[in-house]
Amino acid sequence: MEVKVEKFDYEGRGLTHVDKEVFFLPRALPGERVEISVLKSKRNFKVGKVLKILDKSDARVLSFCPYANSCGGCTFDIVSYENSLKFKKEILKDLFLKNKILLPSFSIEPSRPVLEYRNKVSLHVCDGKFGYYEEKSHSFVPILKCALLSQFISRLLDDFSLFFFSNGSLIIRVNDKGECILGIDTKDEVKIHKTLLEKHLIKGIFLNGKLVYGNSYFIENRNNIFYKVPFDAFFQVNPYISQKILMDVKSFFQKEDTVFDLYCGVGFFSIPLALSVKSVIGIELNQKAVLGAIENARLNNLSNVSFHVGKVEEVLKKIPLSSKKVLVDPPRSGLHQSVVSFFLEHSIEQIVYISCNPITLVRDLKLLLSNYCITFFKVYDMFSFTKHVECVCVLNRC
């Protein structure tokens, strides 16, 4: 079957219509005429596979990754970086327009560097090889190198044979100094070769959830602000972009403000905000992250920041509301509906919403825009060449 690709869908797939049926075409670009086969038929759509490109887009380039067609992690590796930003912006505009949400003019902050930026990776290990699962499947894709990973992680993976286990999973986290913490899950007997410890700055090793070597955390230095980061706590994977977001977020708060930082994690925003506002109150479900946040306040000699453990929607009901300004950085699932209701009922004046999932951001905005107006919107390319972005949306009471 021959079709012409009309545009991208939100997933970064080519989209077209054939006899009023919607077709999603991974790795096809708008304007291209392609020959396809049907891989999956659903009630409302079909997913196709591109067999041959008949008319190629001028935007198409050769991928930098030898695993691109099997891994599926990098949606926009087949265009230049500049075009990837352009396409991401168009996809977001289309998403918000479709949901009748008017955005102010916005820019997209490029990553620097565009490759080798990730400070964390989760890998599967099968028959002595490491790799990823193909997107939306359990089909194992062995790799030798991933172009998105920090050089510190890549160097460690060059010595993967020194791990001595054949099946399971491996998580690697690194900090700005190249210090690593490893998480290994396997049924195999694991014997870490001493050469691995001598060649790399390994601070800690977890085996099947138990700390078996070193420390359970490392210290991250971001512009002379120090963070104690537990191995299983959330921390932004792109240091450059996370600092850009932080600088923008700080500009929305003044010296006299008390700020509620909801879903605060280890205090990535709470700690630097506390240096420039009256006080910060953080709420986070992960108890280890909160213990890390408390330690981070101590590391940075701060006494005007406090933290509470629990679900945001429950803690908000228990503590006095001493602020009319909130910062929210929820997981991909977005805000709990009762949190949205709390904002609306308590006349919160300003919401600075950091989102890693525009779909749930749109869902939440549909409710919040009954009482709020968008005064700032910006996109950040936290995950270069993938379909993902980070957004900052500032809402002020209308």
Active site residues: 356, 390
CA dist 374 to 91, 244, 245, 290, 365, Å?
19, 20, 17, 30, 9
* Max CA distance (Å), the chain: 66
Length of the chain equals 398
Give the DSSP H/E element, type plus range, for residue 344. Answer: helix 337-345
| Residue 25 and residue 12 in contact, taking contact as beta carbons nearer than 8 Å | no
Q: How many CA atoms lie within 13 A of 164 on its CB side?
A: 9
* Cα(72)–Cα(7) distance, integer angstroms: 19
Question: What span, in angstroms and rounded, lies between the C-alpha atoms of 25 and 47?
Answer: 6
Q: Is 149 exposed, middle or buried (0-12, 13-18, 19+ CB in 10 A)?
A: buried
Return the bridge partners of 204, or none. Answer: 181, 214
